[in-house]
Amino acid sequence: MLDDFLVRAGLAGIGTALAAAPLGCFVVWRRMAYFSDATAHAALLGVALSLAFQGPIILGVLATALVMAFIVQSLLGSGLAQDTSLGVLAHSALAAGLVAVSFLSGVRVDLMGYLFGDILAVTRTDLALIWGGALAVVGLMAWRWQRLLTATLNPDLAQASGISARFEGLILMLALALTVAVAIKAVGALLIGALLVIPPAAARPLVRTPVSMALVTAVIGTASALGGLLSSLTFDTPTGPSIVCVAAALFVATLTSAKLLRR
């Protein structure tokens, strides 16, 4: 079954959507959209480093995403304007990654694949890494769920209950770095942010509790991945952007149907 590239691509898409679902909810609730962009863009630098040192791509991506997440976290703590400093980091990371890749003259690099994803070329090893990473992220989020929610709602409230808002923030950083590493194959560095933000935003009008939002987000993410894959085959369009377009269409659909129902 796994011999079929389409089955592998579908499974990769589902794994990525599952990892992105609970984390994406927190990205939306904590208004970290720009934050996740900065971390995802840093992944390209990780790709360049992995290629330069001939190491596994996923490790390089994981390492640079982690470093970037910690830099962003400490910058935010230092009281600099969030919007601006995150913008500086997100765009610089992307530019530095592109420059770094251009230095790799000896290697033939499929830049488009890393920027926009190459889900149709997923190997069995990729698939194992994607699902391993996705399960790790989902497990991490499930384990810390109540604490993460409390810290997200109000850091002081969490602190009073003996929950370190800072530590829970670091857990989210770790989950974010893992998700970036998992998702780069499916949607590419440029569109990971979209996969984190759009499905939860599409789920919001349909739900009333945090848990149901995470579950509906997973369903919408999976539908986007499979729908994007299908339309990419049908219309011969790039897969990553197609997945994001389907997610965006679902967002418009849930938003308008909620508005109409409320009339």
Distance between CA atoms of 52 and 50, rounded to whole angstroms? 5
CA distances, 196 to each of 27, 102, 112, 179, 189 (Å):
7, 28, 20, 9, 12
Residue length, the chain?
263
Q: How far apart are CB 144 and another protein at their closest, in Å?
A: 10
3-state secondary structure 48-68: HHHHHCCCCHHHHHHHHHHHH
Residue closer to another protein by CB (options 200, 238) is 200
Q: How far apart are CB 148 and another protein at their closest, in Å?
A: 10
Residue closer to another protein by CB (options 209, 234) is 209
Q: How far apart are CB 85 and another protein at their closest, in Å?
A: 16
Point out which residues bind another protein (CB under 8 A): 28-29, 31, 79, 146-147, 149-150, 152-161, 163, 165, 200-201, 204, 207-210, 212-213
C-alpha R_g of the chain: 18
Cβ(129)–Cβ(182) under 8 Å?
yes
Distance between CA atoms of 52 and 30, rounded to whole angstroms? 36
Q: How far apart are CB 209 and another protein at their closest, in Å?
A: 5
Q: How far apart are CB 160 and another protein at their closest, in Å?
A: 3
Residue closer to another protein by CB (options 129, 202) is 202
Residue closer to another protein by CB (options 128, 258) is 258
Residue closer to another protein by CB (options 87, 155) is 155
